[in-house]
């Protein structure tokens, strides 16, 4: 075997070994990358089932991971052949005691000697006997088994139905929590609009609500506009509340006047209980059996109706007029006219009952709209930290009508968020109920003063004087954060650089500074006058 | 390079191995066990080095050296080191000679150091001044007396024995002298079956003797052969890495080194590893040095070159422990 043949034999074997080493190395990297990728996908899939977290889309992870892997493989293979490494692998696998490695290094040196030729010749003979396929076989790493197991697990996990996270933490991410709250509110409001009859809900308010929901679903309108529509709808829905309260007060007063009558006792009770339909029914029964009453009872009834009709309540003037007509007809013994007048009273009562039912529906819708406003205002992705009061402030600044005060003193912020009067649901505390469960569970009532005090103690002050924090924000912030987030402020920052340098260069011990200062003050020259 | 030349080199390697084995076999007729000691001694001889044998009295140190001298057809001297031994007693001195005509002149009287194999028995019983008389001879193979330098005939091979330093009446060898020894070999107690063999051989009427199997020229040829073995850069780098790991103040130093070592091995230590590796490769029938050859005699090559600090001395750390840790933790080059 000539010298060139010997060297080419060694190089040839090393090239084959190098190829196999590269293939095995790439397979190793591929198996590791697959394990990481599948592990990440598994985490993305499994984590939301266990804990309430938001994860990136799996497609992005796959694309980014594949790109990174390809880049790494290209980078690792760009170095060209590494026959020295192949020689090391060959020596190690075949137990050659560095024979090939030594020969490969020696044959590349310029120096030549019979001993080097002997080393190369022996190494060539050894390399000729070796079987690279047996020594360095291309084998799939065991990690592919792990990757396969992860893949199977991923497929199995896809079959698991998602009913929300198993575990819930106190510190649920704001984004996810408010997103779910918002969805729940939208659903409630939609159900309410669809479920309530057209005649019950205020037409203008219904239009505004539907418009706001469509904007929200389309996700094209700004959050401010959606909130403005919702607030206008809420205002429209709340408009009838004052009239309804006045009507109820008037009916209460009417009930007081009618309490003394035997024939009208049940009717008065029904009025007192605000059961107007029942009261109308009772009045119609009385009207039917008016002819059965004796003269004394009729006279008593007439007197009671006359007294009652004298109540000064313009809200129910139509009803009072009918009562007065009935009283006059009874007094003049015109029973048919009295019956007709009583029927008019009953009809007026039924009309009031219908108005009350409509206002109740309006109030429910207003409450849902308000709740949704809160959810939208607190949505971290939309307008972070923007609360209803802030929205009201922005609306007022833009010249639009609003009933929310722009700024309120902290001690006056304890207004109820329960909706209409009479439907007390308490102030909005820490709403931690499951929104998917239908009705929200409201937390224990908290007073705003206490929340504000905590925030003030924790130093949640606005960063700049211009950015004055609304007390409503403090309330919402406290409820949302559970604990204050106070930015770290370096108190030394205001000190100038020169001051810092002087302090650093100072070599006088602190306790002697006063003495040194006194000394220099004592020896300083007199100031020129 | 023709095939004939390669065959010639091949036969040279085989002859080296065969002659080495013959010497070992002959020594084994007298010495029981202690193969590592015999190998180390012969490798030192072939690597142009010197050997320091350490062991308690009575375990055959002097016997081994005497037997090695017996199998080699070389001039042999023995110096029994004692506290009152003077340098002049070793190297010789100028003495007054009177000629036949009655004229007197100074003539150099060679000391026992003018030999091929010198047995320096119990070298640490002499004072450091006397011990240092060997320095020049061991390193330069020459002796300077007055203004005259006298060359020592090759091969010059010092076999020194010493008792453990803890024994009474011993003077530790200076670091410079220790560094001159190629290997420091530690002889331990023989095992039970070896003890039987020793009893069988030495309590009979006639003790076995070793015959001469290697002459001076053969030894010099073997020395040349050993030095001709090439070594790859990666293997040489491995030897350097092992040496650097014994240095306490370098980034490559071993944690044990940093804690217990005052001075690490010198470049002479690395030379020892490489040359010893070459001989070891030939003994294994190879013409290239492997990392295994470097490791094979690392302990005797470096154990006397690593000097412990106070903490190491106080905790009675054995340098072998540190070197074994270095061998274990220093990876072989992969390329």
Closest CB to B1 among A85, A98, A114: A114
Mean pLDDT value of segment A200-213: 72
pLDDT at A220: 64
Interface probe for B, chosen from A100, A102, A123 (most Cβ of B below 10 Å), is A102
CB contact under 8 A, B232 and A102: yes
Which pLDDT score, from 0 to 100, does residue A397 have? 38
Query: In sequence order, what DSSP letters do the residues of A170-194 get, joined into one string?
Result: TT--HHHHHHHHHHHHHHHHHHHHH
Residue A408 CA to residue A448 CA, distance in Å, equals 12
Note the pLDDT of residue A460. Answer: 46
Say yes or no for a CB contact (<8 Å) between A102 and B290. Answer: yes
CB contact under 8 A, A114 and B9: yes
Q: Which of B230, B289, B334 sits opposite A116 (nearest CB)?
A: B230
Of A85, A103, A114, the CB nearest to B334: A85
Q: Sort out which chain B residues have CB atoms less than 8 A from A82's CB and list them.
A: 335
B290 to chain A, minimum CA–CA distance in Å? 5
Using one digit for the tens of pLDDT, what is the confidence trace for B118-137? 999 888 888 888 888 888 88
> Which of chain B's residues have a Cβ under 8 Å away from the Cβ of A123?
288
The per-residue pLDDT for B240 is 95
pLDDT score, position B64: 87
The answer to whether the Cβ–Cβ distance between A98 and B232 falls below 8 Å is: yes
Alpha helices, H only, chain B: 3-28, 35-46, 61-71, 88-91, 128-131, 135-140, 175-180, 192-202, 216-228, 233-244, 255-260, 267-283, 291-296, 298-302, 310-314, 319-329
The ipTM (two decimal places) reads: 0.81
Give pLDDT, residue A408. 38
Task: Answer yes or no: is pLDDT of B39 > 50.
Answer: yes
Query: How many C-beta atoms lie closer than 10 Å to residue A416's C-beta?
Result: 11
Which one is predicted more confidently, B100 or B51? B51
CB contact under 8 A, B235 and A3: no
- Chain-chain contact of B1 with A117 (C-beta, under 8 angstroms): yes
Q: Give the pLDDT score at A379.
A: 58
Contacts B1 to A, Cβ<8 Å: 3, 114, 117-118
Phi, psi dihedrals of residue B261, rounded to the nearest 5°: -105, 135
- Of all residues in chain A, the percent with pLDDT exceeding 90 is 0
Chain B residues within 8 A of A85 when measuring between CB atoms: 334-335
Tell me the pLDDT tens digit for each residue of B184-198. 999 888 888 888 888
B335·A102 Cβ contact <8 A: no
What is the per-residue pLDDT across A246-265, written as a single tens digit (0 to 9) for each? 888 888 888 887 777 777 88
Mean pLDDT for A230-235 is 78
Span B58-75, average pLDDT: 85
CA–CA min distance A105, chain B (Å): 6
B266-275 confidence digits (pLDDT tens):
999 999 999 9
* A-B C-beta contacts closer than 8 Å: 73
Tokens encoding A256? 């007081």
Nearest to B6 among A101, A106, A121 (CB): A121
A480 contacts A174 by C-beta, under 8 angstroms: yes
Most confident of A399-403, B57-61, B318-322: B318-322
Q: Give the Å distances, CA to CA, from B287 to A102, A125, B20, B227, B280.
A: 10, 14, 15, 11, 10
pLDDT at A361: 78
Strand-pair partners of B73? B215
Residues from A contacting B (CB-CB < 8 Å) are: 3, 82, 84-85, 87-89, 97-99, 101-103, 105-106, 113-119, 121-123
Higher pLDDT, A503 or A234: A234
Q: In B, what residues contact A, Cβ < 8 A?
A: 1, 5-6, 9-10, 228-235, 284, 286-293, 333-335
By percentage, how much of chain B surpasses pLDDT 90? Answer: 42
* Nearest neighbour of A122 by CB, restricted to B235, B287, B291: B287
A114/B335 Cβ within 8 A: no
Q: Which residues of B touch A98 (CB under 8 A)?
A: 232, 234-235, 288-292
Is the peptide bond preceding residue A256 cis, with omega within 30 degrees of 0?
no
If pLDDT is split at 50, 70 and 90, which confidence band does B265 have? very high
Contact B234, B335 (CB under 8 A): yes
Mean pLDDT of A269-293: 83
Residue in B230, B232, B290 closest to A115 by CB? B230
- CB neighbour list of residue A220: distance below 8 Å, 6 or more residues apart: none
Which residue does chain A place closest to B333, by CA atoms? A88
Q: Which two tokens stand for residue A4?
A: 């060139």
What does pLDDT average to over chain A?
A: 72
Query: Which residues on chain A are in Cβ contact (under 8 Å) with B289?
Result: 98, 102
Question: How many helices and strands (H and E) does chain A possess?
Answer: 21, 0
Looking at residue A143, what is its pLDDT?
Answer: 84
Task: Report which secondary-structure segment, H or E, holds A211.
Answer: helix A203-218
Question: Which stretches within A378-429 are classed as H helix?
Answer: 388-397
Per-residue pLDDT, averaged over B67-71, amounts to 88
A140-185: pLDDT as tens digits: 888 888 888 888 888 888 777 766 666 665 545 555 666 666 677 6
Minimum distance, in Å, between the CA of residue B288 and any CA atom of chain A: 6
First to last CA, chain B: 27
Please give the pLDDT value at position B198. 84
Residue B211: band (very low, low, confident or very high) from pLDDT cuts 50, 70, 90: confident
State how far residue B277 is from chain A, nearest Cα, in angstroms. Answer: 12
Q: Do the Cβ atoms of B302 and B318 come closer than 8 Å? A: no
CA distance B312 to chain A (A): 35
Pick the residue of A97, A120, A125 with the most B CBs within 10 A to test the interface with B by mutation.
A97
Chain B residues touching A87 at Cβ < 8 A = 335
Q: How confident is the model at residue A27 (pLDDT cuts 50, 70, 90)?
A: confident
Residue that wins the pLDDT comparison between A364 and B108: B108
Is B9 in contact with A118 (Cβ distance < 8 A)? yes
The pLDDT tens digits for A408-453 are 333 333 333 433 444 444 444 444 444 444 455 566 665 555 444 4
Q: Is residue B243 very low, low, confident or very high in pLDDT (cuts 50, 70, 90)?
A: very high
* pLDDT tens-digit readout, B137-149: 888 888 888 888 8
Q: Tell me the nearest-neighbour CA distance from A68 into chain B, angstroms.
A: 28
Per residue in B92-113, pLDDT (tens digit) is 888 888 888 888 888 888 899 9
Task: Check B291 against A98: CB less than 8 A apart.
Answer: yes
Contact B288 A82 (CB under 8 A): no
The helix/strand/coil state of B150 is strand
User: Residue A245 contacts by C-beta under 8 Å, 6 or more apart in sequence?
Assistant: A421
- Closest-CA distance, B27 to chain A, in angstroms, reads 29
Is the CB of A113 less than 8 angstroms away from the CB of B232? no
Which residue is it, tokens 């103690």?
A457
**Among A87, A117, A119, beta carbon nearest to B288:** A119
The answer to whether A377 touches A391, Cβ cutoff 8 Å, is yes
Smallest Cβ–Cβ distance between B229 and the set A3, A105, A115 belongs to A115
Nearest residue of chain B to residue A97 (CA atoms): B290
d(Cα A254, Cα A322) in Å, to the nearest integer?
A: 13
Question: pLDDT at residue A39 above 90?
Answer: no
Q: What percent of chain A has pLDDT over 70?
A: 66
The alpha carbon torsion through A284, A288, A290, A291 (nearest 10 deg) reads 170
Pick from B6, B230, B284 the residue to mutate for testing the A interface (most A CBs within 10 Å).
B230
- Chosen from B232, B237, B239, B285 to mutate, greatest number of chain A CBs within 10 A: B232
């Amino acid at each position: 075997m000539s010298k060139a043949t010997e060297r080419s034999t060694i190089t040839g074997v090393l090239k084959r070994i190098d190829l196999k080493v590269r293939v095995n190395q790439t397979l190793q990297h591929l198996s590791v990358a697959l394990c990481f990728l599948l592990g990440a996908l598994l985490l993305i899939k499994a984590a939301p089932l266990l804990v309430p977290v938001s994860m990136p889309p799996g497609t992005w992870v796959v694309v980014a991971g594949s790109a990174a892997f390809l880049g790494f493989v290209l980078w690792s293979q760009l170095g060209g052949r590494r026959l020295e490494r192949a020689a090391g692998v060959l020596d190690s696998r075949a137990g050659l005691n560095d024979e090939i490695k030594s020969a490969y290094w020696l044959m590349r040196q310029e120096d030549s000697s019979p001993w080097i030729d002997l080393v190369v010749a022996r190494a060539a003979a050894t390399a000729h006997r070796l079987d690279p396929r047996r020594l360095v076989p291309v084998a799939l790493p065991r990690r592919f088994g792990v990757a396969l197991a992860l893949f199977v697990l991923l497929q199995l996990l896809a079959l698991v139905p998602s009913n929300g996270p198993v575990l819930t933490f106190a510190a649920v991410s704001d984004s996810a929590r408010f997103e779910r709250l918002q969805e729940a509110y939208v659903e409630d409001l939609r159900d309410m609009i669809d479920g309530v009859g057209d005649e019950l809900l205020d037409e203008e308010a219904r239009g505004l609500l539907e418009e706001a929901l469509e904007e929200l679903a389309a996700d094209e309108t700004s959050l401010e506009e959606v909130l403005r529509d919702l607030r206008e709808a809420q205002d429209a829905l709340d408009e009838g509340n004052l009239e309804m309260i006045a009507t109820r007060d008037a009916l209460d007063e009417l009930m007081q006047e009618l309490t003394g009558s035997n024939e009208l006792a049940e009717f008065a009770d029904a009025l007192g209980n605000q059961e107007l339909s029942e009261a109308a029914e009772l009045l119609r029964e009385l009207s039917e059996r008016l002819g059965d009453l004796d003269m004394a009872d009729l006279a008593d009834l007439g007197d009671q109706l006359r007294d009652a009709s004298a109540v000064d309540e313009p809200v129910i003037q139509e009803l009072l007029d009918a009562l007065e007509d009935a009283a006059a007809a009874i007094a003049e013994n015109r029973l048919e006219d009295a019956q007709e007048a009583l029927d008019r009273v009953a009809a007026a009562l039924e009309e009031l009952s219908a108005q009350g039912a409509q206002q109740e529906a309006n109030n429910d819708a207003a409450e849902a709209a308000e709740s949704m406003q809160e959810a939208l205002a607190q949505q971290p992705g939309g307008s972070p930290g923007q609360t209803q009061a802030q929205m009201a402030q922005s609306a007022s600044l833009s010249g639009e009508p609003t009933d929310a005060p722009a700024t309120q003193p902290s001690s006056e912020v304890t207004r109820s968020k329960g909706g209409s009067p009479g439907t007390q649901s308490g102030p909005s505390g820490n709403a931690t109920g499951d929104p998917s469960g239908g009705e929200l569970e409201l937390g224990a009532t908290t007073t705003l003063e206490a929340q504000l005090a905590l925030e003030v103690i924790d130093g949640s002050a606005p960063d700049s004087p211009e950015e004055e924090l609304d007390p409503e924000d403090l309330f919402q912030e406290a409820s949302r954060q559970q604990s204050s987030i106070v930015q770290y402020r370096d108190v030394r920052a205001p000190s100038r650089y020169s001051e810092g340098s002087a302090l650093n260069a100072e070599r006088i011990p602190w306790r002697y500074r006063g003495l040194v200062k006194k000394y220099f003050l004592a020896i300083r020259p007199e100031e020129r006058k | 390079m023709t095939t004939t030349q390669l065959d010639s080199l091949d036969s040279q390697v085989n002859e080296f191995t065969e002659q080495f084995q013959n010497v070992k076999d002959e020594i084994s007729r007298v010495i029981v066990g202690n193969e590592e000691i015999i190998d180390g001694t012969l490798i030192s001889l072939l690597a142009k080095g010197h050997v320091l044998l350490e062991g308690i009295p009575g375990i055959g140190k002097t016997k081994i050296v005497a037997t090695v001298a017996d199998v080699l057809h070389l001039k042999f001297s023995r110096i029994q080191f004692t506290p009152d031994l003077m340098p002049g007693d070793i190297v010789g001195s100028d003495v007054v000679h009177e000629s036949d005509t009655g004229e007197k002149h100074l003539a150099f009287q060679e000391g026992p150091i003018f030999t091929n194999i010198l047995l320096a028995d119990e070298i640490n019983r002499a004072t450091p001044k006397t011990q240092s008389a060997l320095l020049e001879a061991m390193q330069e193979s020459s002796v300077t007396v007055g203004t005259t330098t006298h060359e020592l005939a090759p091969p010059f091979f010092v076999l020194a024995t010493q008792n453990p330093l803890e024994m009474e009446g011993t003077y530790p060898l200076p670091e410079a002298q220790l560094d001159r020894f190629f290997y420091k070999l530690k002889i331990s107690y023989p095992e039970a079956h070896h003890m039987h063999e020793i009893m069988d051989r030495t309590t009979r009427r006639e003790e076995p003797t070793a015959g001469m199997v290697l002459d001076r020229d053969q030894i010099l040829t073997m020395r040349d052969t050993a030095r001709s073995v090439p070594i790859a850069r990666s293997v040489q780098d491995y030897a350097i890495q092992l040496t650097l790991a014994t240095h306490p103040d370098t980034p490559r130093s071993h944690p044990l080194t940093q804690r217990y070592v005052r001075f690490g091995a010198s470049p002479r230590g690395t030379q020892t590893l490489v040359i010893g590796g070459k001989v070891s490769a030939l003994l294994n029938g190879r013409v290239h040095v492997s990392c295994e050859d470097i490791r094979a005699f690392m302990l005797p090559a470096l154990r006397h070159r690593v000097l412990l600090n106070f903490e190491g001395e106080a905790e009675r750390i054995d340098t072998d422990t540190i070197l074994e840790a270095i061998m274990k933790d220093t990876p072989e080059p992969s390329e």
